[in-house]
Amino acid sequence: MFWRSILLLPTLVSASNWNWEQIDLERVDFPETFLWGTASSEYQISGAEKLPNCQWAEWEKKGDPAIKGGQTSGSAIEGWDRYKEDIALLKEMGLNSYRFSVDWSAIEPEEGYFDKEAIEHYLDVCKELKKNNIEPMITLHHFTHPIWFEEKGAFEKRENIDYFVRFAKFVFTELSNDVSLWCTMNEPTVIALMGYILGEFPPGKRGIFLAAEVLNNMLFAHVAVYKELKQMKNGDASQIGIVHSYLKFEPYSGWNPIEAMPCLFFTKNLHQTVMDFFKTGEFSSMFFQRESVPEAKESFDFFGLNYYSRPVIGMKFSLKEFLGPTCFPGEVMTDMPYPSYAEGFYDALIDCGTLGKPVYVTENGIADEKDDRRELFIKKYLYALSRAISDGVDVRGYFYWSLIDNFEWAEGWSMKFGLYECDLESKERVLRDGSKAYIEAVNRHNQSHELLEGLISC
- Chain positions contacting ligand BGC, by CB under 6 A: 41, 44, 186-187, 190, 245, 306, 363, 401, 408, 417
Instruction: Report the nearest approach of ligand BGC to the CB of residue 22 (Å).
Output: 31
Q: Determine the Cα angle at 274 with ends 367 and 294, to 5°.
A: 150
Question: Alpha-carbon distance 418 to 401, whole Å?
Answer: 7
Q: Determine the Cα angle at 43 with ends 41 and 46, to 5°.
A: 105
Instruction: Report the nearest approach of ligand BGC to the CB of residue 243 (Å).
Output: 7
Q: Which is nearer to ligand BGC, 190 or 264 (CB)?
A: 190
Q: Which is nearer to ligand BGC, 190 or 218 (CB)?
A: 190
Instruction: Report the nearest approach of ligand BGC to the CB of residue 420 (Å).
Output: 15
Contacts of 418 (CB under 8 A, 6+ apart): 402, 403, 404, 405, 406, 432
Instruction: Report the nearest approach of ligand BGC to the CB of residue 201 (Å).
Output: 10
Q: Strands of 333-457 (E only): list them.
A: 359-364, 395-401, 420-422, 429-431
Q: Which is nearer to ligand BGC, 97 or 284 (CB)?
A: 97
Q: Which is nearer to ligand BGC, 100 or 417 (CB)?
A: 417
Q: What is the number of other CB atoms lying within 10 angstroms of the CB of residue 87?
A: 19
Instruction: Report the nearest approach of ligand BGC to the CB of residue 39 (Å).
Output: 8
Residue 285: C-alpha distances to residues 189, 243, 267 (Å): 12, 19, 11
Instruction: Report the nearest approach of ligand BGC to the CB of residue 449 (Å).
Output: 30
Secondary structure (H, E, C), 135-203: EEEEEEECCCCEHHHHHCCHHHCHHHHHHHHHHHHHHHHHHCCCCCEEEEEECHHHHHHHHHCCCCCCC
Q: Which is nearer to ligand BGC, 217 or 245 (CB)?
A: 245
Q: Which is nearer to ligand BGC, 41 or 272 (CB)?
A: 41
